[in-house]
Structure 1
C-alpha cells in the first residue's frame, strides 16, 4: 500500500510540475511509468490494469479528436485566424473577436486542438502587424478554457466526465452555457485593462523577431511547420462541419453509444479521396491519449488500496459531500490548479455517484476545472501549449504574467459560476 501511495503521489506531482525533478520525464511519461509501476508492485494485476482503461471514453475521445483534426487539415483554422487577425479593427476589437472565436470554437472542437492549431497563427499575424502578441494569446487561452465548459465535447475532461456520469449533452449545456458566455466579456475587460498601454510590440522584441537566424528557425521546425497551415479547402471544411453537426445532433437526439457515434464520424472523415488519413491522424494528440490511459491504471491502483473510498466516507461524515455540486465545484477547482484539469477530473470521477442530478454534478465539475485552470499555466493543457509555443517563437510569457491576468479572470469567472450554480 505504501508503494502505491508513493507512486500515485509522484505521478500527480509530475502532473502539477510538468516534469519529474532530476529526470527528463514529462506528464505522459510519468502516467505510463506509474501505470507500469502499480502493476510491478502488485497493486493490481495486468488484467485489472487493462480493465481499468475505459475504452468507451478512449473511443469517444479519439473519435472527436479526429473530427477536430479535420478542421485543421482543411485549412479552416488558418483561414479563420487570417480573417480575424488581418482585419482593420482596433486592438480591443481584435481582442474581442479572438476571444469570441476561441470560446465558441473550443465548445465544439475541443479546446486543446483549437489551442495548438491557432496559437502559431496568432503569433505570426500579430507580430507581423507590430502588435504585442501576449494580450491576444492570453485572452485567447482564457477564452478557450472557459468556452470549453459549455458542452460535453469542449474538452477531454468533459468527455471523460460525460462518459462516467452519463451526462446529457443538452442537460449539461443548459447549466454551463450561461457562465461560459458570461466569462468572455470578463476576459476581454481584464485583458483590456491590464494591457491598455501595451498593445504595440516592444522595439527590442521586433528586432529579436526580425533577427532570428536560420539556426533558430531550424531549432523550432515544428512550430514553423504548424504556422504554415494547409491551404483552405471549402469542400473539406464543409465535410468536417456537416460531420461535426451530425455528431452533436446524434449526441442529443439518439440513444446510440457516444463512442460509436464519434468513431463512426472519425471513420467517415478518414475515408477521403483528397485528404490522406496519415495527415488527419498526425493532428491527433497521441500524448494526451496515452496520458489518459496511464492515469486510468494509476487511479485503479490507488482505488485497490481502499484509501480513496475511506477518504470520501470520512469527508461525508464531516459534512463535505462530493455529491453536492457547490462542494464539488470548489474542491475540483483547487485540485485542478494543483495537478491540471484533466488529471483532476480523472482523480475525482470514480468517486462521484450522481444518482439524483448527474448534469448538475457534471456542470459543477466542468465549471470548477475549466474556470480555475486560468490561474496558473499548468492548470490546463491549453495554457501549457500556448506558453510553450510562444517561447518557441521568441515570445516569453512568464508564470507571473500569466497568473496576474489569469488570477483576475479566475476570481471573476469563479464568482459568476458559483452564483450561477447556487441559483
Structure 2
C-alpha cells in the first residue's frame, strides 16, 4: 500500500515533467553567397576607383546643382517641371535611378534624423522642395564633409554610399523653424552606360546610428531556384535589437525562409534553405529563428551575428501576456500539486506508521492471549481481530486520499497549461 502511493507520485513526475521540459529547437536557414565578379585585383581597383569618383560627382555636383537650381528665384514653371522630370526619367541629366526612388523628407525643418522619418517618392520630394522651400537668387543649399564608402557588390549591380552634411540656408514656408545641418547618406548603384561607368541615386536618407563605412563586402545570395511554390505564410517583421529603425521582413515554412525586405545592406533578400546546424563556412550566411520564433539571428560571412526581435502587434502582445499568465498559473498548479501530493504522502506515511504500531500491539496481545488460552484450557474463545487499515485510519485517511487526488489533478492540469503555453 505504501509503495503503491510512492509509485503513483513518481509516475506523475515521469509522465509530466519531461513534457514540461521540452523546448522547441531553433530553426536554422542557410544561403550560399558570392562576393563579386571574376575581375583581377587590378581591374577591380580601377573599376572601384571610377565608381567612387562618379558617385562623388553625382552628389557633390549634380544633386546639389539640381536642388539649388530648383530653388532659384528666376526659374520659370516649365523649366522647373522639366528639371524635376529629367532628374529621374531617362535623359542625359538623369540623377536618380527612377521614379520609384524613396527619399526621407528633410524639407520639413522638424525632420532632422531617421527617428520618425517620413518617406516620399522622388517626384513628391522635388515638388515639395519647389512648393515649400523659400526660393532665393543666391545658392542656399550646400553639401560638405563628403565621405565615400568602398564599393559593395549588390545582387544585380555594384553600389556605393556617400555620406555628407547637408545645410539649408533658406526657410520653410509652412514651418516657422530654422533649418539645422543634418547628416545624410545617399546610396548609388553603378552601371555601364555607353561603355562608361555611371552612378544613379537609389536611396537618399538620414544617416542612421551605426551606418558607416565597412570593409566587409556585403554578400549576394547565389542560390536562384528557391522553393518550387511561393511560400504560403504570412510576412513577419523583425527589428534590430540595438536600433529599432532597422528592420527585416521575412516569411518561412518548414524548408525555406525568404527575406522579403531588408533595410540593412549586410542582409541580402532572397531564399534561405533549412539546415541542421549553423554553417561556419565563409561561403554561407544563415538566419536562425529561436525562442518560439520571437528572435532572429543573422550570421555574416565573417561569423559575426546581428540580433533582431519580432515586432509585436497589439494582438501579439495580448497573446504573449495570455501565454505568460498560463505559464505562471501552470507552474503554480504544478507546485501546489506537488506540495499536496507530498503532504498526502506524509499523512499517509504517518497513518501507516500508526497502523503498523497498532497491528504490532494486537499481534503481541494475541500471542499472550494464546498462551493464556492454553494454560486456562479455554479453546472456545477467539483472539482479537485486527481492524482493516481504512477502518483504523478513519477519518484521516479520507483527507489523505482527497489530498492525493486533488494534488494529482492540480499537477496534471498545471502540466496541461504549461504545454498549452508552449513551454
Q: With structure 2 as the length reference, what TM-score do the two structures score?
A: 0.23
| Greater per-residue helix proportion | 1
Higher relative contact order (CA 8 A, sep 6+): 1
| Greater per-residue strand proportion | 2
Q: With structure 1 as the length reference, what TM-score do the two structures score?
A: 0.23
